[in-house]
Structure 1
Amino acid sequence: MQIEQLLQEISKLEPKAPAVESQKVWWTWGQLDELVQALVKMVGRSGVPQDGRVGLLLRNRAGPIAALLTCVVSGRCAVGFNPLIPAAKLANDIERQCPTLLIGLDTDMSAEVCDVADALAIPTIRLSDEVGVMPQWGNRFRKPPPASLERLAPETMFEMLSSGTTGAPKRIPLLRSNFNKSLESVQSLDRKRGEMGLRLRSGTRLQTAPLTHMSGLFTVLMTLAEGRKLALMEKFSVGEWVDAVERTLPRVVNLPPAALQMILDADIPKERLSSLVAIRSGTAPVDPSLIDEFRERYGLPVLVQYGATEFSGSVAGWEISAFRELYDQKRGSVGKIQPGIEARIVDGDSQAPLPLGEKGILELRGRQVGDATDWVRTTDLASLDEDYYLWVHGRADGAINRGGFKVHPDEVVAALQKHPAVREAVVVGMDDARLGTVPVAAIIAAAGKVPPTAEELKIFLSEMLSPYQMPVKYVFVGDLPRTPSMKPALPAVKEMLTEHAT
């Protein structure tokens, strides 16, 4: 069954049952569906063509989720916008994309957003945060803006912004067919567990990843399609997250590595997380030592997943049973390649396939990757073992060219984070008049530890790195600039280090 059918049928099973907790208030399936149906009618009467791109101001609230479901069940392309960025920047993004229609919370329709919508003749629909309050027209135009009709997207389900980790975020089209293939992968696992069937399921999934990020979008749609309850958090903080865990009692949660480290640093008592049986992670590389510490402190497996926006979800990952049986043998792996996906490692220069166990560039093909017939090259350095488990060793496209020597930042970061006084590190290339580019490290000290000196770090790293890999400078910071998915935002880190040097 396709995602659009599942969502429509699930919502009709038990209309009075709780579906989504938004700002600590539960919306029932019936209340959510009532809002979706109202939006479907408004969009249908708006004059927007079926393959027009519908702009959504997305945040982790029930109203924007209903707007997303509206696009999914009516077969329209949704274009996500982040209302948490500065209003002028958001207005510029809307102007560049020029959707045929814009839907968002009334509180997110700032003067700048309304001005650009009026100037481009983009109709707007305003949503309320209150349960049972129906959407209202903001402005209404008889025809969609002419510029929007030049960018129709009949096969696209969602235009998703990339994470912006290594540069300016770019929009990537997620095809409806590829998303449904990801859904098939999830359903095949359910069949193995004997969990198939159209029904509401017990348990709650706690959502911290933003809807503007692939992991957030995928989790929301899959959770609701499975008939599970969804509890929303707009931003991760340790205290609020722990309170939400105790309130909603989820069994499995998704958290980025930075959040895992924050929980460890806060020394949260084990009994406060007693409902959990596992944690999924993977929006950024997860240090194996972090997984080890979480297992030791809380007895919880950290199930790493590997995927990308372009793949409409995960293509490799750990399941609980496999983790318990095999993780100690395959420590550091991001999990097994999923059914329906092929993977191989190729030489970066010759593009020739490499033997199992050797490092090279990861290539994938399969039902949710590209056209499912051609190999798709990633930007990751990786290796595979004989059981089809995958290790990711860093990015192949982020090398720092230091006077002709290539420095891979992930290798330097991995070495730095082995130091007991280093909680998190980022290494970026900074301009150098003599060598072109040199590595510089931004470091967050571990809680309760005295930051080591530059000389101490050099001595420590010399046992693991070559001289040309050594950072020329170590800057200790309170925190790092981050993307919405809590990855370090490398362009902003470079800007911060540039300002620090002046």
Structure 2
Amino acid sequence: MTSRSRFRLLLENAPGDARAIEFEGRWTTWGELRQVASTIQQSLRTLGLNGAARIGVVLEDRPEHVAALLAIIAGDQCVVTVSPLQPAERMRGDIAGSGVSALLASPSMLEVVGTLPAAPHLLELTLDGASVARQPVGRQRGAGDAVGAPGITVEMLTSGTTGPPKRISIADQQFDAALTTSVPAPPDGALFRSGTTLVTTPLVHIGGFWGSLGPLYAGRSIVLLGKFDLDRWVDAVVRHRPRAVAMVPATLRAVLSGDVPREKLASIEVATAGTAPVPVALTEEMLDRYGVRVLPTYGATEFAGGVTAWTLGQHREWWERKKGSVGRALPGVELRVVDDHGDEIPHGEHGILEIRGRQSPSGIHAWQPTSDLASLDEDGFLWIHGRTDDAIVRGGFKVHPNDVRAVLERHPAVREASVAPLPDARLGQVPVAAVEWEPGAGPRPTAEELFVLCRQHLTPYEVPARIVVLDELPRTSSMKVSRTELLDIVRSDAIGASEHARA
């Protein structure tokens, strides 16, 4: 069964009163999702937008927006995601350049969209359905202008941690492979499985997108929490008692620093963790304090989500020998590590990770290079050591940000560190860093303390040119550190220091 046919089956046959999505204390039923999806498709048919039409969605964390995704996928069209988190001017430029034939958005977002040249048809999205909204001034894109995307399920934005987000096409076979591998549908044609999944990442991010659609595909209900809030998350855990949760390093730290009582998390056995490197010390502390096994994963938007993971059984058997690994390849995925010439290298050596399988944009037969430095061991476990495009070239010397980050995080009062390349007229680039203070672990560290630590453990060219100490690191919607914002903070700090010196 394909993902499109599975979602059609659910929309057509799920009991109207069956619970689907909890949001802000209210359950949205499958009957309500069906009504929204039906209205969307009626509106699109009226506009002549059938088949492979590309339909944009300004994707907010609301039940009707999940219904829009289900409707478009089940209707054999292509979802084009638009982030509601970007500034208004950037959003308008993104929509204008997207080439979508219609755009679904909430009433408030339609106000933000405003007037666009050569605008798509605008549909106002609410829990009552989707109706054609007041059209902005300018030529309307008609059915004859539709730019189709046959064989593409979704065009999705990357998280944009290192620069402007890019829109990635995920083909039908990639989408199907990702869903059927990680969250198989119930057996024997059943509609539902028991259990509820907590979704704490925005829908517009790959984690929230799969975190919502995956459980629904498998017949489970979901709780949309949007941006992570510790109190709301704990409340949802206590009420729904999930066995497994999805988390990122920042949310793991929030649970630990929030000193959540152990009994409130008693139902949780495992926490899958992706989107950013998970320090081993963090996983060990979660196991010691809460008995929760953190299962690191690895994936990318280009590969329709995860490609490696740990299982609970593997973690129990192998963790002490394989700490720091992001697990083994998922079924249907092959991994290898190659040198700069594309030749496979021995187990344990660092090189460029390549992936082959149904989730690859290159298809099942071609090896797809990634931008990740990695190593594989003889048991098939994968380690990620940084990114090939992350290397900061400082006057001809390569600096790997992960090496610098690891040293900064040795300081007991540093919760997390991040390193980014700052353009430099003389050297090309220099590494700069920001750290997040851990108040409960000691006095706020000074930049000079951290410089001393770096000089003790790094070569001179690896030592950051500037270090800024923050209460909180800047983050994207997916809770990754935003290195573009980090660079803005470092530049601002440098200007402030210069003005203070002149004064």
Give 1:498 shift.
Answer: 0.7
Structure 1 stretches lacking a partner, 5+ long: none
Corresponding position of 1:48: 49
Aligned residue type for 1:478: D
Aligned residue type for 1:212: V
Alignment of 1:43-82 (within 5 A): 43-82=44-83
Q: Distance in 2 between matches of 1:466 and 1:180?
A: 47
Q: Distance in 2 between matches of 1:392 and 1:353?
A: 16
Give 1:462 shift.
Answer: 4.3
Corresponding position of 2:124: 126
1:347-406 CA distance string (max 9 Å, x none): 13x222100111111011111112221111101110001111100011111111112110
Give 1:140 shift.
Answer: 6.3
Alignment of 1:16-415 (within 5 A): 16-110=17-111, 112-116=112-116, 119-129=117-127, 133-139=128-134, 145=141, 149=145, 151-186=147-182, 197-348=189-340, 350-369=341-360, 370-415=362-407
Give 1:447 shift.
Answer: 2.6
In structure 2, do the counterparts of structure 1 residues 497 and 459 end up closer, same or farther at CA, with 3 Å as the change threshold?
closer
Percent identity over the alignment is: 40
Verify the 8 A CA contact 2:37 2:129 in the aligned structure 1: no
Give 1:225 shift.
Answer: 0.9
Q: Answer with 201-210 or 429-438: which moved more.
A: 429-438
1:35-85 CA distance string (max 9 Å, x none): 212212221221225222101010111111111111100010111111233
1:190-246 CA distance string (max 9 Å, x none): 89xxx6652311111000111111121122111111110110012112122212222
Within the candidate set 426, 429, 437, 2:421 is matched to: 429
Q: Distance in 2 between matches of 1:260 and 1:364?
A: 29
Q: Answer with 403-412 or 468-477: which moved more.
A: 468-477
Within the candidate set 482, 485, 497, 1:492 is matched to: 485
Q: Distance in 1 between matches of 2:10 and 2:424?
A: 58
Structure 2 stretches lacking a partner, 5+ long: 496-503
Residue 470 (structure 2) pairs with residue 474 (structure 1): no
Q: State the secondary structure of the residue aligned to 1:481.
A: coil
Q: Distance in 2 between matches of 1:8 and 1:276?
A: 32
Aligned residue type for 2:164: A
Instruction: Report the TM-score when normalising by structure 2.
Output: 0.92
Verify the 8 A CA contact 2:436 2:472 in the aligned structure 1: yes
Corresponding position of 1:7: 7
Q: State the secondary structure of the residue aligned to 1:209.
A: coil
In structure 2, do the counterparts of structure 1 residues 283 and 55 end up closer, same or farther at CA, with 3 Å as the change threshold?
same
Verify the 8 A CA contact 1:100 1:148 in the aligned structure 2: no
Verify the 8 A CA contact 2:248 2:276 in the aligned structure 1: yes
Verify the 8 A CA contact 1:334 1:390 in the aligned structure 2: yes
Aligned residue type for 2:258: A
In structure 2, do the counterparts of structure 1 residues 215 and 389 end up closer, same or farther at CA, with 3 Å as the change threshold?
same
In structure 2, do the counterparts of structure 1 residues 211 and 459 end up closer, same or farther at CA, with 3 Å as the change threshold?
same
Q: State the secondary structure of the residue aligned to 1:332.
A: coil
Q: Distance in 1 between matches of 2:377 and 2:317?
A: 16
Q: Distance in 1 between matches of 2:119 and 2:487?
A: 38
In structure 2, do the counterparts of structure 1 residues 493 and 49 end up closer, same or farther at CA, with 3 Å as the change threshold?
same
Verify the 8 A CA contact 1:334 1:391 in the aligned structure 2: yes
Q: Answer with 299-308 or 251-260: which moved more.
A: 251-260
1:399-441 CA distance string (max 9 Å, x none): 1111211000011112211221110111112233443322111
Q: Distance in 2 between matches of 1:353 and 1:38?
A: 52
Corresponding position of 2:500: none
Q: Answer with 167-176 or 457-466: which moved more.
A: 457-466
Q: Answer with 158-167 or 5-14: which moved more.
A: 5-14
Give 1:459 shift.
Answer: 4.0
Q: Distance in 1 between matches of 2:339 and 2:390?
A: 17
Verify the 8 A CA contact 1:336 1:390 in the aligned structure 2: yes
In structure 2, do the counterparts of structure 1 residues 196 and 168 end up closer, same or farther at CA, with 3 Å as the change threshold?
farther
Q: State the secondary structure of the residue aligned to 2:389.
A: coil
Verify the 8 A CA contact 1:257 1:284 in the aligned structure 2: yes
In structure 2, do the counterparts of structure 1 residues 467 and 280 end up closer, same or farther at CA, with 3 Å as the change threshold?
same
Q: State the secondary structure of the residue aligned to 1:38.
A: helix
Verify the 8 A CA contact 1:123 1:139 in the aligned structure 2: no
Verify the 8 A CA contact 2:203 2:209 in the aligned structure 1: yes
Verify the 8 A CA contact 1:52 1:148 in the aligned structure 2: no
Give 1:346 shift.
Answer: 0.8
Q: Distance in 1 between matches of 2:163 and 2:87?
A: 18
Aligned residue type for 1:351: G
Corresponding position of 2:498: none
Cα-Cα RMSD:
2.1
Aligned residue type for 2:123: I
Q: Distance in 1 between matches of 2:472 and 2:32?
A: 40
In structure 2, do the counterparts of structure 1 residues 455 and 88 end up closer, same or farther at CA, with 3 Å as the change threshold?
closer
Instruction: Report the TM-score when normalising by structure 1.
Output: 0.93
Across the two proteins, how many residue pairs are aligned to each other?
Answer: 490
Displaced runs of 4 or more, over 6 A: none
Verify the 8 A CA contact 1:50 1:76 in the aligned structure 2: yes
Corresponding position of 2:453: 460
Q: Distance in 2 between matches of 1:470 and 1:200?
A: 54
In structure 2, do the counterparts of structure 1 residues 442 and 97 end up closer, same or farther at CA, with 3 Å as the change threshold?
same
